[in-house]
A = this chain, B = another copy of it.
Amino acid sequence: MRRQQRVVIDNVQPQLDCGEFFIKRVIGESVHVTADILPDGHDVMQAELLYRHEDEKNFETVRMVHEGNDAYSASFQVKKQGFYHYKLKGWVDYALNWQHGLEAKLEDGQHLKSELLDGIQYLKFLAKKVGAKDKELIKSWVDAFQDAGKYDEAVKHASSKTLHDWFIKHPQRILANESSTLKVYVDRKKANFSTWYEFFPRSASPKPNTHGTFKDCEALLPRIANMGFDTLYFPPIHPIGEVNRKGKNNTVDAKDGDSGVPWAIGSKHGGHKSIHPELGDEKDFKRLVKKAKDLGIEVALDIAFQAAPDHPYITEHPEWFRKRPDGTIQYAENPPKKYQDIVNFYFETKAYKDLWDELLSIVLHWVGFGVTIFRVDNPHTKPYYFWNWLIGEVKKDHPDVLFLAEAFSRPRVMQQLAKQGFSQSYTYFTWRFSKHELTEYMVELTQTNMKEYYRPNFWPNTPDINPYYLQGANESMHLIRYALAATLSGNIGIYGPVFEYMVSEQLPPKEEYLDCEKYEIRHWDWTIENGLTHYITKINAIRHQHAALQQTNNIQFCGTQHDNMMAFYKWSGDMTSQLLVVISMDPHHLVQGTVQFPWHDIGPTHGDGIKLIDLITDQEYRWHDEWNFVELYPNVPFHVFQIIKE
């Protein structure tokens, strides 16, 4: 194949796996596109970035800037949800090249003749592009270029900025080369900034030993809203299987009255599209969703694509499940372990298209109730391409819907799910607690290409994870973990009120909760206020008021002179919001040390130092040096300094 272009385009970034996956952004963010673009020889080259929203017909263009060593860059901002397409174009710009060569010769003192005649073709092209007034002017230049008597005038026009700017504005793009088209999917801002609260609806009753209802949940909404949470996540709200139901503390046989595990979905009362009869009915649920919305809270449901042995699907669609040779349905296993309260879907079934359609319809069913966020249970035990298809199908008509992947698994598994389309993902945060580990992990998340597609959601605890260092830990430890999550990550969540009431008794020897709500109904006094409820409220308010905390990737770690003092600088894309966060990692002792303010990057140009306000205490400070003394007491083990521009 013969290609006559002279420009080559190489290594376009950002891209994932040769464009197989799209990168992610939220409304208002930018995509900074780079590539190596080069022609043969030394002619002047130009490159541009082209982008358009999928609903637009024409591409916008942005001229690229040369960063050196043939690397070019340009950015575009994404303003609407949906897909944007972007690609690059490069060409040898004969007009600019002509002008450049002419200027070099003039500087060398050469007299020009054929060079001026050579330029006429470029003027003629321009004349076709400009308005009538400029067209006349350009025609006069054409005359001057051919008139030896008008040499000085001709030369002046030929090397003018006016002409240069016209050439930039109206490129001919002869023999341009183009890169292949890449895509970015843009979500609403909630995808990058969300503050989750999880509790079990059945434990929401103000009366002990009583199954909670959606009405009881409504009564808790003001508390959750006041604490500054904007996403309320429920474990599955569907009927729970009665066959092989599990008992308290994960025992194999339930006793009478045991409530079973919400993730063992399906019974004679219905399946994934039904509501557990003791929680309420569809009207109750709709009212709850609406009341939550009025308080600025989105209700998030749990998608758990598995079935209890008495789920209606088992008898209605046996072809969606694997049968054992004796004809019975194959329950979940991870040999030698057996999970007899759960049956997995059989994705290798020949009837997979019907199965996929039904699972999609489950999601759309709840979307129809006004649910716009789903936390997906163990997505890594279902096929990756299935999720890609399902998420894509939902977002075609419901672009607001977000999906959180709950996959605690190997790195490539978690990354693959994010690439395949999950809007947010749980992370290893729960097991990272030293300064070094956290810094290393944040660098991985925000400086490798994970930053293009993986939106972390930091959870200090979940119903499945009672971290060792929180077991029996004091209030300071809990404060530290919440502050770390809430300042490092735009998306965070806690499992309450277990977290803020520090209910951390363990089911030994693992990171499991004793008498866990997964297996039984618990009763909580939701009115208790303590240091945690106070500071969670304060920190959540800071998150909502300061854009620097409403994103994750713009973070820079600052030097400190104490192993137990962690400091980092965060900023919003437009730099209007800048924070310096300093957190102690020691829940028992006073920590004192110096912190290295990023003076060379954002230090003041005047001599009055930099003004800071600690948003936790409202105290003001003025720092005049690069290194500054900071102390943190266990009872309030963090500063969140707003950096004030003066």
Contacts and interface: CB of A to CB of B under 8 A. Distances in A.
Contact of A385 (B2, B102, B113, B383): B2
A5 interface: yes
A113 B326 CA distance: 9
B347 A383 contact: no
Contacts of A69: 410-412
A1 B114 CA distance: 59
Interface of A: 1-6, 8, 10-11, 17-19, 36, 38, 40-42, 69-70, 100-102, 104-105, 107-108, 110, 113-114, 117-118, 120, 174-175, 324-326, 328, 333-336, 347-348, 352-353, 356, 380-385, 389, 410-413, 416
B413 A100 contact: no
A20 to B, nearest CB: 9
Chain B CB within 10 A, most for which of A102, A107, A410: A410
Contact of A2 (B107, B113, B326, B356): B356
Nearest to A334: B42
A319 to B, nearest CB: 15
A385 B3 contact: yes
B10 A412 contact: yes
A10 B384 CA distance: 12
A147 to B, nearest CB: 14
Contact of A348 (B102, B174, B347, B389): B174
A119 to B, nearest CB: 9
B174 A325 contact: no
Contact of A384 (B8, B107, B348): B8
Contacts of A175: 348
B412 A114 contact: no
A335 B100 contact: yes
Contacts of A107: 336
B105 A4 contact: no
A325 B116 CA distance: 9
Contacts of A413: 38, 40, 70
Contacts of A118: 324-325
A61 to B, nearest CB: 23
A353 B385 contact: no
A335 B118 CA distance: 14
- What 8 A-B pairs have minimum CB-CB distances, sorted nearest first? A117-B325, A108-B336, A104-B335, A18-B18, A101-B335, A3-B385, A70-B412, A114-B324
Which of A102, A356, A384, A410 has the most C-beta atoms of chain B within 10 angstroms of its own C-beta?
A384
A1 B356 CA distance: 12
A547 to B, nearest CB: 34
A105 B41 CA distance: 69
Contacts of A42: 334, 381
Contacts of A8: 384-385, 416
Given A38-B416, A104-B336, A333-B101, A1 B326 contact: no
Given A40-B382, A105-B335, A113-B326, 18 more contacts: A1-B389, A2-B353, A3-B385, A3-B389, A5-B385, A8-B384, A40-B380, A41-B381, A41-B382, A42-B381, A69-B411, A70-B410, A70-B412, A100-B335, A101-B333, A114-B324, A117-B326, A118-B324
B410 A4 contact: no
A5 B411 CA distance: 20
A645 B163 CA distance: 73
Nearest to A68: B410
23 contacts: A2-B353, A3-B385, A4-B352, A4-B385, A5-B383, A8-B385, A8-B416, A10-B412, A10-B416, A18-B18, A38-B410, A38-B412, A38-B416, A40-B383, A69-B410, A69-B412, A70-B412, A104-B335, A104-B336, A114-B325, A117-B324, A117-B326, A118-B324
Contacts of A18: 18-19
A19 B18 CA distance: 9
A183 B442 CA distance: 37
B384 A326 contact: no
Contact of A383 (B6, B10, B114, B380): B6
